[in-house]
Amino acid sequence: MGRLMRPGWFGFLLAWMLVLAGPALGQSSVDGDDAKARHLYNNGVMLYEEGRYSDAIAAWKAAYDLSPRPLLLYNIAEAQERVGMWQEALDTLNRYRAYAPAEERDRLTKRIENIEKHLRAQRAEEDARQAQVRSEPQPQAVPRPQVRPEPRPEPRRSAPPPQETSPRWRMGPLPISLYAVSGVGTVTGAVFAFRAQAARRAASEVCMGEITLFCPESARNAIEQDKISSIVADVGFGVALTGTVVATVVAVSSKNRANRTTMSLSPTSRGAHLGLSRTF
């Protein structure tokens, strides 16, 4: 592969002369940007001479952003070739070719062809390296032996203790009858208490003061009905209270008798067995 053609100092001198010979823009802001661009260009030249090509590229790109002069692209491509940025150099030269004068086109075309040839060789070398890597046998991982865990003995489950069954306690017929009587007494007492209250209210409407004083004959029936209804109501409530108390006592006593502990004597193969039994 032949040596790439580089313009050397002629290209830098030509670029510097064109930068210095640029037309004045006539505006203070543009003049300031142009002055910064010239300063950056000078820094790039010094960095290039020192062999700091990457720094020279950065300086010239900054100068191009401030003052897009085509010959700056030429210098950037020159530095990119020095650091091996072949694809970037090719793209930069293609951008510069649109502004290149006619007398430089032949030499610029040859330079671009040399870069493309270098890129093809580089890609072919990379493809060959990857093909070699793929063709090499890859080390296979040794499968680890599978160890089957030993079956664990299942724990013995002890049988649940037998649950003692006991007959449920039921209320006898006597407490039920007494509770029914107390319910009837409660209803009767409530009805006659209401009737006594109504009779007392009717008598108080025609009597003056207490019920038994200053009452006309028309209030006699209401007074009698009040007395009789009050007596029946008291008797009904008394029967209800008495029945409730007696039924409760009978029910509790019968339940205690059902829960009492008994002693039994049972014969076995080794002799008689004496034990206690309790019902719940």
pLDDT of residue 278: 43
Q: List residues bridging with 272 in a β-sheet.
A: 267
Terminal CA-CA length for the chain: 111
Is 176 or 53 the better-scoring residue by pLDDT?
53
Q: Residue type for 184, please?
A: V
What is the reported pTM?
A: 0.40
Element at 269 (helix H, strand E)? none
Give residues with Cβ within 8 angstroms of 234, minimum separation 6.
Answer: 189
Do 115 and 180 fall within a single domain? Answer: no
Angle (CA) 274-276-280 rounded to 5° is 155
d(CA 211, CA 221) in angstroms, rounded, equals 12
Binned at pLDDT 50, 70 and 90, residue 218 comes out as low
Binned at pLDDT 50, 70 and 90, residue 89 comes out as very high
Do 186 and 87 fall within a single domain? Answer: no
How many separate domains does the chain show?
Answer: 2
Do 42 and 121 fall within a single domain? Answer: yes
In-domain check, residue 274: no
In-domain check, residue 162: no
Note the helical H segments in 161-219: 173-206
In-domain check, residue 55: yes
In-domain check, residue 166: no
Decide: 11 and 108 in contact? Cβ < 8 Å: no
Domain stop point among 61, 95, 127: 127
Per-residue model confidence as pLDDT tens digits over 32-54: 888 999 999 999 999 999 999 99
Residue 160 has pLDDT above 90, yes or no: no
Do 94 and 13 fall within a single domain? Answer: yes
In-domain check, residue 158: no
In-domain check, residue 266: no
Do 13 and 111 fall within a single domain? Answer: yes
Phi, psi of 266 (to 5 degrees): -125, 135
Residue 28 has pLDDT above 90, yes or no: no
Residue with tokens 């109504």: 198
- The residue segments making up the domain with residue 251 are 173-260
Find the CATH number of the domain harbouring 42: 1.25.40.10
